[in-house]
Amino acid sequence: MHVRRLILILVLSCVSAGAAEATWDVRTLGGRDYVPLTQVAAFYKMRIVPRGGNGVALLSDTRRMDLLRGSREARIDGVKHWLSFPVLVFGGNLYLSRMDLSKTIDPAMRPHRLPVLDPVRAVLLDPGHGGHDRGAVNRNGTEKSYNLAISLDVQRRLREAGLRTELTRSTDRFIPLEARPAMAARLGEGTIFVSIHCNAAGQTSSSATGYEIYTLTPRGAPNSNDSFLTRRSFSAEPGHRFDHANQALSAAIYHAMLGRLPLFDRGMKRARFAVLRRAVTPAVLVECGFMTSPRDARLLHDPIWRARLSDSIARGIIEFCNLSRARKQPKLLAQYRKEEAAQLAGMGFEDNPLAGIGAALQSGFGLARGWRGLLPVPLCEDIGPFKLEFEPEGWTQLEAWASAGEDARSMSHDEQSAMMEQSEWPDLAPAAGGMRGWRELLPAHGLDHGFQLFESESGPLSEDFGAATSRHIRAVEMVEISGGAL
């Protein structure tokens, strides 16, 4: 009798434990894994609120995400993020790609849960261009000069805060792209790489304006400025080891820039620039404004404005350092705006520029037709319907090409100058055999092998976080850096 009771208790315990364990409802849509937005909201303890016909907001007491059906644009805590793949509708429900949940949403929502993050001990700043490579040019000066001036100022501020900070170049000289990230290896573990640039459009005078910041595109995804895949999309790069840390570093810097020195928000983007692909540390590339925008050009030439920009970049880096050392959540845009509301009000800058999701509602124009025409400049970053020209029929062959070696065309391509280029690739060669069963040739969890969400005390991914992090954080390193010196 006692044995039967014991067995019954054990069975009931197993059933209860199984019922309590939540699992992700992963569906294959368009050849890749997606998860329902309702489950994403539940995981982050947020509620879903419809916005307009195609938009939806995920809200909690302190956090917010805005998403748009069929779009790769998202807004998290007021900052624009570019997703790898569009939000889809299936069975009347919205779905988010598994890659974006892992490599965009989770690092933004829970950066303190980064699984492996070495405490930052050194910063390598990379002033873009130099020597014979002037970069973009306008009537006020050259990009290489602005990049160096900003980087020197950031270095000074970081050193005042006690951080070891070095430059890839401290004078007007040219350094090959591949040599720049390699310099970080000489600084040892715990180094981060921040490349400083100014942007440019195709015309000498353009309405394109604002900040943007880049990290390496995850394997198997298109760049943010592309709507197609190439063979390079499937190449494994050294920088892919830091996908999650890259995103957290990017957010820490970008929130500080937008929060303390407002400019048009072009978003947190992904690209395969050489300095990001070949990075041996967490790495980002910052675009500080457009040399070809009359307004941005005036600001970049203003020493007072550049000083505040440098200060903002330095503060963002320090926030990431404190994240790596003490698991302290970096400040968000709203916190910066609240702390410095009085100073921002006196600067005369627009601190809530119209951009992206909800722009019509924020502007007060309601749902009036042609509201975009009322804007002073076009929304350059708006994109049309998303499509991947090589999917799904060519997916397997692209993977095979990537495995065979680097793509010669991509290797010889000038990435920096062709960032916005929408070039076409040759038609695919006929696939061997039938392509009907191409999905069966893919690994069970997708090509990326990167569906990794950080540990949580509860929910579908609950694990013993304390034991996992104790190996990476030593008590002596859990010291915050003071930003007071800035």
Candidate from 276-280, 433-437, 450-454 with smallest mean pLDDT: 433-437
pLDDT band at 331 (very low <50, low <70, confident <90, very high): very high
Read out DSSP for 223-234? -TT-SS--GGGG
CB distance 273 to 197 below 8 Å: no
**How far apart are the C-alpha atoms of 357 and 354, rounded to whole Å?**
9
Contacts of residue 21, Cβ cutoff 8 Å, sequence gap at least 6: 460
pLDDT in tens, 117-166: 889 999 999 999 999 999 999 999 999 999 999 999 999 999 999 999 99
Asked if the model's pLDDT at residue 403 lies above 80, the reply is no
When the pLDDT of each residue in the chain is averaged and rounded to a whole number, the result is: 76
pLDDT in tens, 32-71: 899 999 999 999 999 999 988 789 999 999 999 999 999 9
Mean pLDDT (whole number) for 74-91: 95
Mean pLDDT (whole number) for 334-347: 83
Higher pLDDT pick, 107 / 6: 107
Contacts of residue 155, Cβ cutoff 8 Å, sequence gap at least 6: 125, 165, 166, 167
CB distance 57 to 49 below 8 Å: yes
Higher pLDDT pick, 223 / 7: 223
pTM higher than the cut 0.85:
no
- Per-residue pLDDT at 344: 74
- Please report, for the chain, how many H helices and E strands are present, in that order: 16, 15
> Could you tell me the domains of the chain?
21-111+452-472 (3.30.457.10), 116-353 (3.40.630.40)
pLDDT in tens, 90-105: 988 999 999 999 999 9
According to DSSP, the β-strands at 283-290 and 211-216 are antiparallel
pLDDT in tens, 314-330: 999 999 999 999 999 99
Of how many residues is the chain composed? 486
Coil vs helix vs strand at 265 = strand
pLDDT band at 81 (very low <50, low <70, confident <90, very high): very high
Give CA separation, 287 vs 196, 313, 354, in Å. 7, 11, 19
